[in-house]
Structure 1
């Protein structure tokens, strides 16, 4: 009987030890689960803190004092949104103490529905009841007249740029800056990221005699600046020369959390198409160089789902892709391609060409790549390759240098070397107006 009792007591102790071990294990698991939850939440908070805050967001949360009690106008388009995709116009229209009286639309219009070279005209915005005025095609004097007619005391600029000189939004801003200087209107730029990064300044610099709406002032083809930085540069160096020495009453509201070595996908912000043929950040990267095709009889891919990545013409065959592959350009590869644009050049015709694939944005040089495509096309197909009859290429590149060098049979390396001195001068000028640094120890180039 005593032996049985000892066995029973031993079994009971074993069961209690087992239960204790199980309870301890459950407690440890619960603690681990709590720790995991805390880490996940902390990571989410860190990610939220890392998201870039645009100038629009900073204005609405921290700096409404700049516009309260004033008659406010805004130059904007579909890209002028908050991170939750609510448009800035809707937020301003309901902000306490803000009197939004005018919306000004650039090329493509306030709603962004018009194709290249078009706009939506003037009308009343249905949601807010605020009048919309068309700025596209208006010079600075006409814009100044609009500012006076609408009675705006302060004008906001909030548009996502793509980082290339011949994209027209920055020149709408330049014309509006001049108009603001002439009328004494306050001008506030709500800064946004340069989607293709802010390290590189590349390509030819505009010569003043080739000033147009695809390039008012002498800056590089890839300027590597934000719209806020450009506004500071423009207002300090170029606006006074065109307004009798006057500058605009300019305020730039910087972003928070943006660095020069960021591409757009790293900002945590939603991408809204800046124009109908700019659907992705990849498009913006290609456009820096491939926009030059607009000055030739090559299709730049308008009327396809991959504008500025598909390049072609009826006379192009497989040899162009092969020649470009042999060029071994860094950060990009090419595929022989055939496509039929639905509008623009060669609409409804099947044409041959190439599709470019950017494999490394840091190594990819979009302007050298575009020059190489043009040079190789002329070498292969001779007089079938043509410049646009109005020599639009000179407006896009900013001088006759590229066109005359291509026609003289120069190599891509020689053509690129031809603008390096002017580019070096622009880089020195640019550095004086940069608002943002780098995350690491990288150098500007």
Structure 2
């Protein structure tokens, strides 16, 4: 697969008539080069083109934002499309994102989060190319996959090129969790994939197109600029936090397991200096760590349990990784013992899980081992299904 990854890179270079394709012989051993950091692969395709960008604060070429980098190279950027958390990544989860003019560049910023998840076709007709370059964390309910899906549809309908500048998946070695069932499809889960899919967004774009998941009868002209020297089991520390409440590697590692608590009365640290790294409640206690959530501009507006003292677990040095539902089972049992409802947002839990079977099994006291066994057949089928779309060495 390593040879295949380089072959993809070499193929781009041959098609474009360019040289200097990045390989391990050209760079330091094992030095990861994200798609955006390989301009020799994409700049020839942007010359003389009207370009739209789907970007946020993670869209960097070294220390420079992709918008600024492309402008410095003379690329004609017509629009920036802003997903959840906004173009600069300073909006809280779920917060409304407005259309605006970027003060630094004068480029119109068009929201694709909220009611309008696709740009107006009139805007798309003014473009030749749309570039998607956003850092993902490899979890189905992290909404950048959904934003990419809708932009792929919009590009296909407009008959314009769609490019993905690929980036590593920090949870890339994990494939786990229930497969999403069609009746639970939503913006926090649009595709029949597991909670942890183990793919990059470039690979996922190829799968979305290849499996005909786009709601359009038009074909999509898709190009992925792959990450050089990358294997999905590699540890990858994100240089820029991907969203306001995922500030570090530990929060990203815990995110797949703790996000389900969003459907409960339990806090997972929104409104603290360590979001997605603690678990606590003011009445039900599992553990003795104490914290008090507060409003934080751009990260947590009136968070759960604001101003109250929560007691629970400090996971900042935990080795929990992948999908570990043991904390969820512990807290569900503690609530049940007090006669309190744990899944107070049952429908949201089912959307996150992609099924109601997980919630119902937890409510019935099913063990972690039995829960995990429920989705193994689906995982095996998914691994086979995704194989044609992988750009990097698979991980068992």
Q: TM-score range by the shorter chain?
A: 0.7 to 0.9
* 276, 292, 311: which one aligns with 1:352: 311
Conservation of the 8 A alpha-carbon contact between 2:250 and 2:316: no
Deviations, residues 383-431 of structure 1 (Å, cap 9, x unaligned): 3242134521000000100111122222222222222222221122122
Q: Distance in 1 between matches of 2:381 and 2:93?
A: 32
User: Any residues of structure 2 matched to 1:4-403 within 5 Å, and which?
Assistant: 48=28, 50-58=30-38, 60-83=39-62, 85-96=63-74, 98-139=75-116, 142-143=118-119, 145=121, 147-148=123-124, 151-196=126-171, 198-240=172-214, 242-244=215-217, 246-265=218-237, 271-317=239-285, 320-321=286-287, 336-342=288-294, 343-357=302-316, 359-360=318-319, 364-381=321-338, 383-389=339-345, 391-403=347-359
Deviations, residues 25-63 of structure 1 (Å, cap 9, x unaligned): xxxxxxxxxxxxxxxxxxxx99845321111111x2332
Q: Distance in 1 between matches of 2:349 and 2:369?
A: 19
378 and 238 in structure 1: CA distance in 2 versus 1, 3 angstrom threshold: farther
144 and 120 in structure 1: CA distance in 2 versus 1, 3 angstrom threshold: closer
377 and 182 in structure 1: CA distance in 2 versus 1, 3 angstrom threshold: farther
Q: Distance in 1 between matches of 2:259 and 2:327?
A: 8
Cross-structure match for 1:331: none
- Cα distance, 1:357 vs structure 2: 4.4
How many residue pairs match? The answer is: 365
- Cα distance, 1:147 vs structure 2: 3.7
Conservation of the 8 A alpha-carbon contact between 1:70 and 1:154: yes
Conservation of the 8 A alpha-carbon contact between 1:283 and 1:309: yes
Is 1:419 aligned with 2:375? Answer: yes
TM-score with structure 2 setting the length: 0.87
Structure 1: where are the runs of 5+ without partners? 1-44, 322-335
- Aligned-pair RMSD on alpha carbons? 2.1
Cross-structure match for 1:32: none
Q: Distance in 1 between matches of 2:354 and 2:153?
A: 21
Q: Distance in 1 between matches of 2:354 and 2:65?
A: 35
Q: Distance in 1 between matches of 2:66 and 2:334?
A: 45
- Cα distance, 1:376 vs structure 2: 3.6
Conservation of the 8 A alpha-carbon contact between 1:375 and 1:412: no
- Cα distance, 1:373 vs structure 2: 3.5
402 and 374 in structure 1: CA distance in 2 versus 1, 3 angstrom threshold: farther
Q: Distance in 2 between matches of 1:138 and 1:79?
A: 24
Which is higher, the Rg of structure 1 or of structure 2? 1
- Cα distance, 1:173 vs structure 2: 0.2
Is 1:405 aligned with 2:384? Answer: no
Q: Distance in 2 between matches of 1:415 and 1:50?
A: 37
Deviates more, 1:168-177 or 1:400-409: 400-409
Q: Distance in 2 between matches of 1:278 and 1:190?
A: 22
SS of the residue corresponding to residue 264 of structure 1 reads coil
Q: Distance in 2 between matches of 1:152 and 1:377?
A: 55
- Cα distance, 1:146 vs structure 2: 5.6
- Cα distance, 1:66 vs structure 2: 1.0
Q: Distance in 2 between matches of 1:248 and 1:387?
A: 40
65 and 365 in structure 1: CA distance in 2 versus 1, 3 angstrom threshold: closer
